[in-house]
Structure 1
Amino acid sequence: MFAELLAELLEWCLDIKFWFKKRKRRKFEKAHNIPKKTMWYPSQKLGVLYLMVMLFSAIIFMVFVFPNIKNNNTKKRLSKIVMLLEKEKKEIGAYPIELKTIIRNNPLLKGITKDDWKNEFYYKLSDDGLTYNLFSLGKDNTPNTDDDITLKQ
Structure 2
Amino acid sequence: MTATDPHAVEDLLNRVRRLEEMETARNHLHRYAETLDDPTPEAVAALFTEDGVLRTRRGDAVGRRGIAEFYRRLLQLDPAEKRHFITSPKTTWLAPGLVEVSSYFLFTGRGADRSAIGWGTYLDRIRVTGDEALIAEKTITMHVGTDLDAGWPA
Q: TM-score, normalised by structure 1?
A: 0.30
Question: Which structure has the higher relative contact order (CA within 8 Å, separation 6+)?
Answer: 2
The structure richer in strand per residue is 2
**Which structure is larger by alpha-carbon Rg, 1 or 2?**
1
